[in-house]
């Protein structure tokens, strides 16, 4: 595919994107014949995906989706030179990540992701091939997590900016940041540190071995959608780790008005982060505490529900590790036995 966004023009781009979305939906149909039906409807497609769904997709002023019960809504920005660099991030991976970060927020709320709107600002000089690959990544993420792209918007911009809005089906029990009681255990899914290590390796131009693992983890995060759903019945609060574990723990402490004690040595460090930390001149535990864009879950779980939560996480094929607890005292986060500064990502720093 040759040419730029400026050459193609708006209506050609809309046709192209509509075709990519329809083709992506068809592939999903082939893979899930029993659960998923697609009916071509002019430029839009009607998709039935489990319960939802896109009754009418791109092509009208609004998409029409069917929702059941309570609907979760979330949105996140993915902006060139703020959240990614085209130099370091192949278009496919940028597309995957732009949707994945939203799926992660629905996972933190214990929900099932459903329908997305994708609003793009594109520079005129952007190759159409870049946009095609971006959409291929975004749609691959959609197929993996059951998200239908219901529509979006195009505008000219000075750099690539992607805003995704995503709906989700809420769990029976609402999951937020405000339910923690003293005595609850704090737990994390997966392991930490590789995303920040991968970003630093990209900055330094390193490759190979553990570097490749860390860079992959930074570029292609896998939101913990199944684990979020599996844990929802057992948690008192949950959040996804987009801006660093300690930072997110601070949001939970503030949201619930409790004191949280985090045990740094208990936080699982990703093997790639453990192997790269000495080469980077960093402390692996501090790296795990601060690393953003991990998209793991941090949950608070009443002790009586710990065993059931742990079994549920195992069924979702994700280890759950206890990393601290909630106690009485002023709201905030204390790191047990830790002396030094720990930060997180600040969007306006
Ligand atoms: Mg979040």
Residue 72 alpha carbon to ligand 1 centre in Å: 13
Residue 174 alpha carbon to ligand 1 centre in Å: 15
* Digit-coded pLDDT (tens) for 154-206: 999 999 999 999 999 999 999 999 999 999 999 999 999 999 999 999 999 99
Distances from the Cα of 23 to the Cαs of 2, 12, 16, 33, in angstroms?
A: 20, 16, 11, 15
Residue 27 alpha carbon to ligand 1 centre in Å: 30
How many Å apart are CA 27 and CA 44, to the nearest integer?
16
The superfamily CATH assigns to domain 5-169 is PurM-like, N-terminal domain (3.30.1330.10)
Query: Which segments of the chain does DSSP mark as H helices, in order?
Result: 5-8, 10-31, 91-108, 128-145, 194-204, 209-219, 225-231, 245-256, 271-280, 284-290, 306-315
Note whether 150 and 117 are within 8 A (CB): yes
pLDDT band at 40 (very low <50, low <70, confident <90, very high): very low
> What average pLDDT does the chain have?
90
- Collect all residues with Cβ–Cβ distance below 8 Å to 204 and sequence separation of at least 6: none
Residue 309 alpha carbon to ligand 1 centre in Å: 21
Q: What is the pLDDT of residue 39?
A: 33
Residue 242 alpha carbon to ligand 1 centre in Å: 6
pLDDT value at 49 more than 60: no
Residue 120 alpha carbon to ligand 1 centre in Å: 21
Average pLDDT in the 248-268 region? 97
Structure tokens at 170: 């809420």
Q: What is the pLDDT of residue 88?
A: 86
Average pLDDT in the 340-349 region? 67
For 199, the 3-state DSSP assignment is: helix
Q: What is the pLDDT of residue 26?
A: 55
Residues 281-317: b if buried by 16+ CB within 10 A, e if exposed: ebebbbbbbbbbbbbbbbbbbbeebbeebbebbeebe
CATH class of segment(s) 185-335: alpha beta
Residue 239 alpha carbon to ligand 1 centre in Å: 6
Lookup result for tokens 């004191």 = 259
Q: Which of 140, 137, 167, 130 is nearest to 151 (CA)?
A: 167
Residue 149 alpha carbon to ligand 1 centre in Å: 20
* Digit-coded pLDDT (tens) for 234-249: 999 999 999 999 999 9
* Digit-coded pLDDT (tens) for 304-330: 999 999 999 999 989 999 999 999 889
Average pLDDT in the 86-114 region? 96
Residue 112 alpha carbon to ligand 1 centre in Å: 15
Residue 224 alpha carbon to ligand 1 centre in Å: 12
DSSP string covering 250-286, please?
Answer: HHHHHHHT-EEEE-GGGSPBPHHHHHHHHHHT--HHH
Please report, for the chain, the start and end positions of each structural domain, with discontinuous segments joined by +: 5-169, 185-335
Domains 5-169 and 185-335 agree in fold: no
Residue 117 alpha carbon to ligand 1 centre in Å: 18
pTM reported for the whole predicted model: 0.91
């Amino acid at each position: 595919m040759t040419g730029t966004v400026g050459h193609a023009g708006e209506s050609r781009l809309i046709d192209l994107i509509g075709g990519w979305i329809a083709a992506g939906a068809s592939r999903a149909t082939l893979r899930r014949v029993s659960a998923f039906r697609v009916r071509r409807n002019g430029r839009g497609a009607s998709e039935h995906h489990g319960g939802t769904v896109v009754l009418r997709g791109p092509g009208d002023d609004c998409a029409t989706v069917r929702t059941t019960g309570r609907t979760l809504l979330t949105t996140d920005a993915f902006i060139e030179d703020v959240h990614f660099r085209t130099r370091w991030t192949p278009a496919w991976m940028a597309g995957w990540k732009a949707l994945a970060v939203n799926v992660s927020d629905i996972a933190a709320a214990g929900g099932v992701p459903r329908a997305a709107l994708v609003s793009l600002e594109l520079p005129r000089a952007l190759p159409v091939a870049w946009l095609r690959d971006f959409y291929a990544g975004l749609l691959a993420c959609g197929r993996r997590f059951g998200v239908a792209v219901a529509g979006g918007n195009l505008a000219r911009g000075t750099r690539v900016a992607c805003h995704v809005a995503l709906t989700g089906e809420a769990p029976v029990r609402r999951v937020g940041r405000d339910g923690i009681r003293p005595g609850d255990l704090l737990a994390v899914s997966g392991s930490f540190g590789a995303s920040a290590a991968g970003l630093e390796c990209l900055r330094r131009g390193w490759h190979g071995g553990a570097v490749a693992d860390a860079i992959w983890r930074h570029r292609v995060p896998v939101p913990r959608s199944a684990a979020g759903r599996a844990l929802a019945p057992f948690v008192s609060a949950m959040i996804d780790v987009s801006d660093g574990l300690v930072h997110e723990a601070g949001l939970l402490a503030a949201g619930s008005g409790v004191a949280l004690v985090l045990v740094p040595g208990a936080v699982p460090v990703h093997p790639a982060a453990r192997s790269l930390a000495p080469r980077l001149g960093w402390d692996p535990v501090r790296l795990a505490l601060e690393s953003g864009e991990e998209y793991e879950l941090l949950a608070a779980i009443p002790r009586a529900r710990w065993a059931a939560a742990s079994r549920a996480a195992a069924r979702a094929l994700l280890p759950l590790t206890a990393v601290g607890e909630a106690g009485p005292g002023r709201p905030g986060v204390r790191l047990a036995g830790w002396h030094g500064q720990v930060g997180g990502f600040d969007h306006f720093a």
